[in-house]
Amino acid sequence: MDMTIANATNQFRDEISATRAKPTARAYSMGIKHFLSFLKERETNSADPLSNLCMDHFILFPAWLAKQGYSKQTTLVYNVGASSFLDWLVIKGWLTPTHGETLRHKKATKNLSRRRESKLPRTPARDAVDKMLQSVHAMKLPSPIKERDIALIEFLASTGCRVNEACLLKIRDVDLQEHSAKVMGKGSKERMVFLSSTACDALNDYWNIRGFRDKSQPAFARHDDGASDRALPLSTTTMRNVVDEVVAIAGLESGQFTPHSFRHAFATRMLSETGNLALVQDLMGHASPAATRVYAKVAPEELREAHKRVYK
């Protein structure tokens, strides 16, 4: 049986899963998924022989990817996944690009890197977070999974934390009395975040119900058969799956609300309520105020009202 494009991509995914860190392997796999979508639009299917794949596919992919509406960083990551697949094919001897084709591919990738971006963050609708909170409380799940999922959604909504920050959180990092927690952000930078009363109550209920709350144990643990009696932390993939399940129950459009949407909503609301860019920057753990300033653009009505207060 001839090697198909699907066979090749599956082999590539298996190898990167075994040799790369999970976040990298997941990002590369998403790049391959989008590459296959691109091929399908060009009437090349994954079931086709691998010999149908040519360098023009890889050369044209960056320009196609740039039009899909993703952030510049996301498009670059997805293209790296496709480019790594290309390198893998060349090493295997299944694709032999000419020198000219290699230069054209490098130029296409460089053009993607040069793409200017003025895209605003995808801030969810004002009532989306409320729908998520209401839905997770109404979900019918076995204990302590239900209590864990409630605590997780409440935590993400009230802190604006990244998913990996929630994964790394341990009980000792949380001070329920002070409604605060220490999280480890990007670049191993520790910062303080603050929790709502509802989030604190949800965490306390969850820790009590699950039956273990040693300070060294994860704040959000696995409760599947594979976890046995050990307190194993949730993975970022599982956390995303939890959010996806709640999104479905809340009736929100798939793909329009992700774990990072809590972060966007948090930043927008805090900036709208306080008007303090530096404060929101610290709460978000942004290294540069430029990363925070974009949230001032997503709610122009607040800017308009602020201008009216000064220039009546």
Active site residues: 162, 186, 260, 263, 286, 295
Would you say 76 and 39 are in contact if contact means Cβ atoms under 8 Å apart? no
Amino acid at 123: T
Rounded Cα distance, 234 and 151, in Å: 13
Residue 20, SS3? coil
Q: Of 16, 9, 7, which Cα lies nearest the Cα of 38?
A: 9
**CA-to-CA separations, 219 to 102, 131, 155, 238, in angstroms, rounded:** 48, 24, 10, 14
Q: Of 284, 237, 283, which Cα lies nearest the Cα of 259?
A: 237
Would you say 102 and 48 are in contact if contact means Cβ atoms under 8 Å apart? no
Would you say 81 and 33 are in contact if contact means Cβ atoms under 8 Å apart? no
Say how many C-beta atoms besides its own lie within 10 A of residue 104's C-beta.
17
